[in-house]
Amino acid sequence: MSSIAARTYLTPEEYIVAERKATLKSEYLSGEIVAMSGASDTHNLITMNTATALYNQLADRGCRVYASDMRVGISTGISYFYPDIAVTCDKPRFEDDVFDTLINPQVIIQVLSDSTAGYDRGEKFIRYRQLESLQEYILISQDQVQVDHYLRQDKQWVLSEFSTLEGVLPLVSIGAELSLRQIYRFVEFETDDTLQATRSI
């Protein structure tokens, strides 16, 4: 989760040096530092549910599932982000020998909030698309049952939307799937029907 309120400017090298010493995470867009804010209970539940479901399906195949703290580097756009979840089933590649900046994710997942939805759908997605390895980009709402799935097909990104707890999201590039019931387990929304549905999983 990010906040675009606090900004400053550094070179990529200055950013990496500062970030490795920092106690709070920041993202980087072509010289601009974007401070990150804390995550809500719902955001944390969704992230953990989703990462756990993927890990359980993929670990025995040698795939890596990274949640929240793994930085992703994009050299073509000189950008660094902390996706909520990043997955690779290829051998993970890193920017340098510190092994804290992944450069070949196949799947990236962002959990949206009111303050970050535009950023995640817009500027961040533009930057992520510059990653040759990236095949799928997933946006999960924390305010309602809504998951947007972007799949790379040649030079196009094809959108599929899922908005019921009965939905199952296929992750074709890594041979996995995500049930929306798994994603939203323990998440409480305002309607009685949804509350009952998420609590009873």
For position 157, which CATH number holds? 3.90.1570.10
34 domain-assigned: no
179 domain-assigned: yes
133 domain-assigned: yes
The pTM of the full predicted model, rounded to 2 decimals, is 0.89
Q: In angstroms, what CA-CA distances link 169 with 46, 53, 106, 148?
A: 15, 12, 16, 9
126 domain-assigned: yes
Cα–Cα distance for residue pair 176/165, rounded to 1 Å: 18
26 domain-assigned: no
Domain range for residue 172?
Answer: 39-199
Within the chain, where are the H helices?
12-21, 41-58, 117-121, 123-128, 180-183, 192-199
97 domain-assigned: yes
The angle formed by the CA atoms of residues 62, 66 and 70, to the nearest 5 degrees, is: 130
Total tally of structural domains belonging to the chain: 1
Q: Which residues, 6+ apart, have CB-to-CB distance to 143 below 8 Å?
A: 112, 114, 189
188 domain-assigned: yes
109 domain-assigned: yes
Query: Averaged in consecutive runs of 10 residues, what is the pLDDT profile of the chain (201 residues)?
Result: 59 93 92 84 96 98 95 91 97 96 97 88 94 97 96 95 97 98 93 51 51
Closest CA to 178 of 83, 107, 104: 107
Q: Can you give the pLDDT at residue 37? A: 77
